[in-house]
């Protein structure tokens, strides 16, 4: 696959992948591959409905997505980003907590407190089953909230994720919203929690080596960003 030279990217030594930060409109072929990989992954885990493919397919709800390409140019994982939000009600987290009024109230309050400073939300994370360095790709995805916030000019990044990835998220500077009880989303096999990243405190919360790597990669990504690129405002999906 031929990637335009001015697409923000960095080389991830752990996964041996080139990580691209782009948009569906700029790279529709790569976006299609991202969706295929996500659908296969979610289907394998029996949670395809959580992907909401009919809503996200056209790319209109995705402000940015990260794709990890191996040395052959094959996509082996990624995550997409929504936002920055202009309204609290755009957050997908509110949809996930729809049946849990107390948790939804907390999520709404936290969004309301932060939205004026810029909030982006990470969704649709996946790693290919045959990725030779799958754990490293997962670690890369866990760093993407920091990169997303920087690229999209937001202070905060939000993600809801199952508790089995908690360690990876926390290592990148995430803070768990402990006042919000985990919920069985997308189904009873999972205990999904709410995580926040704050660009002003990531340096204090992240593992030192991870922070240094994220800082270096952020500089690289921002250096490749074209001033003329217009990133669309996304809505919940």
Given the structure tokens 């080389």, which residue do they identify?
11
175 alpha carbon, distance to own chain's centre: 15
Q: What is the mean pLDDT of residues 76-85?
A: 97
Average pLDDT of every residue of the chain: 91
Q: What is the pLDDT of residue 234?
A: 37
Nearest to 191 by CA among 103, 64, 72, 85: 103
* Cα–Cα dist 29/33, whole Å: 6
Angle between helical axes of 208-224 and 134-152 (0-180°, round to 10): 60
Alpha-carbon torsion (223, 229, 230, 236), positive or negative: negative
The tokens of 15 are what? Answer: 């996964």
- The full DSSP string for 36-59 is HHHHHHHHHTT-HHHH-HHHHTTS
**pLDDT (tens digit per residue) in 97-117:** 999 999 999 999 999 999 999
- Is pTM beyond 0.75? Reply is yes
Alpha-carbon torsion (165, 166, 170, 176), positive or negative: positive
Contact indicator for 237, 61 with CB cutoff of 8 Å: yes
C-alpha angle 79/180/84, rounded to 5°? 40
25 alpha carbon, distance to own chain's centre: 18
* Cα–Cα dist 209/172, whole Å: 10
56 alpha carbon, distance to own chain's centre: 14
Strand order in the sheet with 9-12: 9-12, 17-22, 64-69, 75-82, 119-127, 156-162, 192-198, 175-176
Half-sphere exposure of 84 (CA within 13 A, CB side): 16
**pLDDT (tens digit per residue) in 157-208:** 999 998 888 899 999 999 999 999 999 998 899 999 999 999 999 999 999 9
């Amino acid at each position: 696959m031929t990637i335009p030279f001015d697409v923000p990217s960095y080389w991830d030594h752990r996964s041996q992948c080139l990580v691209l930060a782009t948009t569906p409109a700029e790279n529709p072929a790569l976006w299609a591959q991202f969706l295929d990989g996500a659908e296969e992954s979610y289907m394998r885990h029996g949670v395809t409905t959580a992907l909401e493919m009919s809503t996200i397919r056209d790319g209109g709800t995705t402000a940015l997505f990260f794709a990890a390409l191996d040395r052959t140019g094959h996509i082996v994982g990624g995550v997409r980003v929504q936002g920055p939000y202009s309204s609290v009600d755009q957050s997908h987290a509110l949809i996930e907590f729809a049946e849990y009024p107390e948790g939804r109230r907390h999520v709404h309050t936290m969004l309301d407190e932060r939205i004026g400073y810029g909030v982006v939300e990470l969704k649709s994370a996946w790693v290919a089953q045959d990725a030779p360095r799958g754990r490293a790709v997962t670690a890369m995805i866990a760093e993407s909230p920091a990169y997303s916030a920087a690229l999209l000019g937001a202070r905060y990044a939000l993600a809801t994720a199952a508790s089995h990835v908690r360690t990876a998220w926390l290592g990148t500077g995430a803070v768990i919203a402990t006042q919000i009880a985990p919920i069985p989303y997308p189904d009873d096999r999972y205990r999904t929690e709410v995580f926040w990243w704050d660009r002003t405190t990531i340096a204090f919360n992240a593992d030192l080596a991870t922070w240094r790597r994220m800082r270096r990669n952020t500089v690289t990504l921002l250096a490749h960003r074209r001033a003329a690129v217009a990133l669309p405002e996304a809505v919940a999906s």
